Structure formats: structure tokens, C-alpha cells
Amino acid sequence: MWPTTTRSASRSLIRGPLATVRCSKYFRPTELTPLSGMSRMASSTSTKANSFNQTLHYITEIKLQELETQRLAYKEHSKALDEAQKQTDVIKKVELLTKAVKSWTGSGSVHDTKLIEGKLHLGDLEFWLQQAKKDPSFSEEIARSWAEALEQHIQHIGMRFDAARLFGKLFNEWLESGDSSAVAYQGPSEVPSGASDASVGTDASSFVEAGRKEMYEQKAKLQSIVFEDHPIETDKLKSYLEKLFESEESTKALEKLRKELKDFSYHFKRRKITTTDVKDTLNGLLATGLMDEEKRSTLKAFQDNATVLEEVASVLNMRMANIQSWSWPKDGMLVEFRRHLNGKYRAFTDPEIVDALFLHYIGVHWQVKLKSSLRRIFDSKAWTRPLPPSGRARQRWREQLRGDSGEQSIHTQRNTSRRDLFFMSQLQETTSHPVAYDDLVDAPESGDDNPMSPVQIKRQLLHIITTESYLNQAIKGSHTTLRSDLEWFGPSLPHKPILTVLEFMGMSKTWLNFYNAFLATPIYFPDE
């Protein structure tokens, strides 16, 4: 049963590419919800046609839900028509209607180059309005025709929402009828016809595993971290960040970073999501290694069907257009503890499947952008480096190592390894090449030829440690290696410092609000 109340975690709970700082190895929420109807699609007794129809039915339901969300939002938005009717001044009426048309960013939104009702150029309207205000000979009939065209446009968009809603319902009815070979999507609380009596009442959502002592210890520790608020002095954090960029070169690098992220914030929101993006996102979710076989089968069914990929891309574009109103389900997210092959318990959440795809898509693209931008700072003069050797040392170097410009020096090798292997190593470099977590024993194995695979990075690290040990013992006679682990680092991060850092780097208000909504996840546990 869903709880009557949920709690909003004050810490960074959800794991995945959207998280700017990775969660600790003890907390790895999944990014897909178990869908009993979709898992049946992958069963050995299902035909390809049946799988296709089940998937199509599910996608249609998702689109109808998203459509209804936007329809209600547009219904509220179109109240500008009522306000416009109260205006006695025609010019003010046109201005009010124009603002309503331009401010709508959901499905059916228009750009300045669009012709409204085939006769009114939205980009030129502001100029004509200015002339109408100053020119006493301007005809009010023309202004009334503008108002009429704008009113018709607003009404037509609303009618399109209603028509799409009706068509979607009719399409679902057809899928469920005898005229179609479709099998309707079975929700977690539904029992398909022909199911055995033994299966009735075995809904996974009502089953609570007793668990071991370790599980309850992990749960208690997690609850003590995510629900206890430890205020952070953001002013001091901002002051610290500003001091990092005090020098002239650092200031230039920071200004460039902020401009890059500001531009990316604007263009990314308006970028069309394609089927290629959906494929990359599906591959990324599969590469996380967090899904069971049923969930992987669901993703693979999406992956192999071009029609479904197009429909998913359409849904994701609808959500991106309305991103300012995105939120978690009001009922909250269930947090479950599952035992892995290594004996450790990890906490999992199961977002709805399209939310998982949407969040993964956003997170990966922000990962790639942040990594490329911060690497440029690492390569620039803004990055603090050891002082260069003195003139005498350089002269001795040239005499002893003739023909070597220093590119093969030990310091250069250290810097290259740090940049290529360890600096933000868990962030993706491209959207099409996912990076697996090094402590996920159930994750798909990556090839040994991948230099950024967890196995290769560990091998490189051990090789560097061994080399440094031999070098220091030969030169200084001793060597010490220290290892530290920030336990529960990810879940223990309060939201304010994360948002403060993102704002400092130049992320726009729209995306900051989205990240804030993402981080403030309402959660509950099975026994609540």
C-alpha cells in the first residue's frame, strides 16, 4: 500500500548520471520500475506481434498521461482568453494574447517566424503594435483582426489537445478489442485472465522481505543520513569558490565556463530528442547493471523496435518542453534494500520507466558537458601546478637528457595519467559510451581494451603505485601509500552545496529548479 505521507530526503539520494556527485557504494538506486505487463512481453510464450502490441499499448498510456498533464497546464494557461475579453482597449488585448501565445512552451508552442492562423506573423507583431500605439490613423479593425487570429490560435491548440486525448483513448480501446491482437498492459495490481490461482495476491509491491540484520543496519544508517538536516553556510562556500578563481587566468577561465554552461542550458532544453538519443539512453541504462532480467528484457524490447523508439522519443520531447513543471510522483518513491552477490545490501528506488529514461538522458548530456568544460580548465593556466624547475636545474636537464623536451618526464606522465584516467573518471566523455560503476558486481563486463573500464583503471592505479614505490625507494629509501574512503559520501551531501556549486558554474535558473526538484525526492520504506 502507498503511505499516506512521504518524507523528502534532505540529502542526495538518487543515483545515476543526473547526480553531479556520485553516491557512495552503499547506495545504488535503480532507474527502472518493475513492469509486470512489460515483463510478460519477454516471456517465451509471447509472440512478436503480441510483444509489439503490449509495448504499443504501454507507450500509448504514457503519452496519454503526458498529454493530459500538458492539456491541464494549457487549460490553465489559456485563461488569458478570459482576461482578454475583459479588455476594452484593443491594443492591450492584442498584447495580452501575444504574451500568452509566446509564453507557452509545451506541445503546440510557436516561434517568432511562425504565421498565426496563416495570416499573422508573430515576429513582426511587436513592431506593428508599437506603430499602432503612436499612429492615430492606425485602423482598429486591423488590431481586432490580430486579436481574432490570436484567439483562434489559442482555441485551436486547446482543441488539438482534446482531439489527441480522444484519439488516444479510441486507439487504446481498439488495441484492447477483438479487432486487434494486442494484450493490454497489466499493471502491478492487475491479474491477467487465465492466471493461476496461485498467482493471485502475490503482487510484488505488497511483499516485504524480512531481510538480515545487516539490511536493517544499512537502513538505519541511511535514514539517519538522508533525513537529518545539517545546514551548510553557503556564503562561506561561495567565498571559497571565488578565492579559487582570484587570479587573472582563473577569472578568464571561470567567465568562459559560465558562458558555456549558460549557452548549453538554453540550447539543451530546446534540443530535439531523436531515436538515436533514445538508443544511447537505453544502452546506458542497460550498462548500469542494476536491472534484473525482466527489466533488461523490457529495455531490449524497446531497443529493437523502431516504432517504439520513435514513440519514446516523442514522449521525452513532450517532457522536455514542459521541464519546468517536472516533479516526482506525489505518492513518493519506494526505497528497497537488495542483497548483491558480494553480500552487501544496497538501497534501490524504482522510478517509472519513462522518468528513468528522461533523467538518464538529461544526466548523461550534463555529464558530457561538465567533463569537457572542466577538462579545459584543467588544461588551462588557471589550474595550479608545481613551480617549474630553476634555470640551473633546466640547464642540467638539457645536458643530461639531450633531445628530450620534457614530454616524457615523470611529472608529465603523472599529469597525463591524472587527467585521462582519474580526473572525473566516472563521468562520460560521450553520450554513446556509458561508464560503468566499478563496484557493481552484477554490471555487464566491459572489454579489457577499454582504457576507461573499471578493471583497466584499477590496473593502471596499481601499476602507478608500484612504479612510485620502486622510484621512491631507490631515490629516498622509503615509500608509503595511504588509502582513504569517504563512507556514505553521496547520500550525505546536502542539496544546498550541490545547487550552490552548479549556480556558481553558470547553470541557468530553469535547470537549477529542475535539479532541486530531482534532489528533493519524497521517499518511503516498505514497512512505512
Q: What are the CA-CA distances from residue 326 to residues 64, 173, 214, 396, 510 (Å)?
A: 16, 29, 36, 63, 11
Residue 312: which of 90, 38, 520 has the closest Cα? 38
Task: Report the relative pairing of strands 333-339 and 345-349 from DSSP bridges.
Answer: antiparallel
pLDDT at 114 over 80: no
Helix pair angle (275-287, 353-379), 10° resolution: 90
Q: Residue 102 is inside which H or E element, if any?
A: helix 90-103
Residues 382-424 pLDDT 10s:
888 776 666 777 777 766 666 666 667 788 888 888 888 888 8
Instruction: Say if CB 71 and CB 176 are below 8 A apart.
Output: no
SS3 187: coil
User: Among 24-38, 319-333, 379-393, which is the least confidently predicted range?
Assistant: 24-38
Euclidean distance between CA atoms 416 and 241, whole angstroms: 25
Instruction: Fill in the amino acid letter for 250.
Output: S
Instruction: Say if CB 335 and CB 349 are below 8 A apart.
Output: yes
Higher pLDDT, 263 or 325: 263
Residue 489: which of 17, 15, 7, 8 has the closest Cα? 15
Give me the pLDDT at residue 345, please.
82
The residues near 394 (Cβ < 8 Å, ≥ 6 apart) are 388
Strands laid side by side in the 333-339 sheet? 7-8, 522-524, 333-339, 345-349
* 3-state SS, one letter per residue, for 478-489: CCCCCCCCCCCH
Instruction: Say if CB 333 and CB 521 are below 8 A apart.
Output: yes
Average pLDDT, the chain: 76
In the 8-state DSSP scheme, what is residue 477? S
pTM across the whole model: 0.69
The residues near 176 (Cβ < 8 Å, ≥ 6 apart) are 57, 182, 184
SS3 345: strand
Give me the pLDDT at residue 291, please.
66
Residues 302-317 pLDDT 10s:
888 888 888 889 889 9
Phi–psi pair at 33, nearest 5 degrees: -100, 140
Euclidean distance between CA atoms 223 and 227, whole angstroms: 6
Give me the pLDDT at residue 264, please.
96
Phi–psi pair at 335, nearest 5 degrees: -110, 120
In the 8-state DSSP scheme, what is residue 494? B
User: Among 223-232, 236-245, 310-319, which is the least confidently predicted range?
Assistant: 223-232
Q: Which burial class, exposed, middle or buried, applies to 161 when counting CB atoms under 10 A from its CB (0-12, 13-18, 19+)? A: buried
pLDDT at 34 over 90: no
Euclidean distance between CA atoms 515 and 19, whole angstroms: 9
Instruction: Say if CB 254 and CB 245 are below 8 A apart.
Output: yes
Residues 133-173 pLDDT 10s:
777 777 778 888 888 888 888 888 888 888 888 888 888 78
Residues 172-185 pLDDT 10s:
788 777 555 444 44
Euclidean distance between CA atoms 92 and 54, whole angstroms: 51
What is the DSSP secondary-structure string of 18-80? T-SSPPPTTB---SS---HHHHHHTSTT--HHHHHHHHHHHHHHHHHHHHHHHHHHHHHHTTH
Instruction: Say if CB 299 and CB 282 are below 8 A apart.
Output: yes
